[in-house]
Amino acid sequence: MESHLQQHSQQGYEFNFLQLPGPTTCFQSADYSQYQKFKLEDDISSLIVLDWFTSGRMSRGERWEFANYKSGMVMKKIKFS
């Protein structure tokens, strides 16, 4: 079974963004991918993002048994003329 997450966020002027989710936990044979994209509008804005995952559902004896895990993140500063 495939599962995907896409997140796109654009932060305003002098904006502080904090994202601290719980960990991603894949089940046995899972095929998971995620892509996160953040845009900051100035040099003053700040971004703190935690992206983490576990080895699986350990209470069920599943350790590193997922089929695929992909994670990508892009952070850009937008330049206005």
8 Å CB contact between 36 and 49: yes
What is the C-alpha to C-alpha distance for residues 8 and 72, in angstroms, rounded to an integer?
12
What is the reported pLDDT for 12?
A: 79
- CA 20 to centroid of chain Cα atoms: 10
**pLDDT tens digits, one per residue of 28-50:** 999 999 999 998 888 888 889 99
Query: Residue holding tokens 């994202």?
Result: 19
Give the pLDDT of the chain (81 residues) as one tens digit per residue: 677 888 888 877 788 889 999 999 999 999 999 999 998 888 888 889 999 999 999 999 999 999 999 999 998 888 765
Strand partners for 6 = 35
Kindly list the domain boundaries of the chain, sorted by start residue.
2-77
What is the C-alpha to C-alpha distance for residues 75 and 14, in angstroms, rounded to an integer?
16
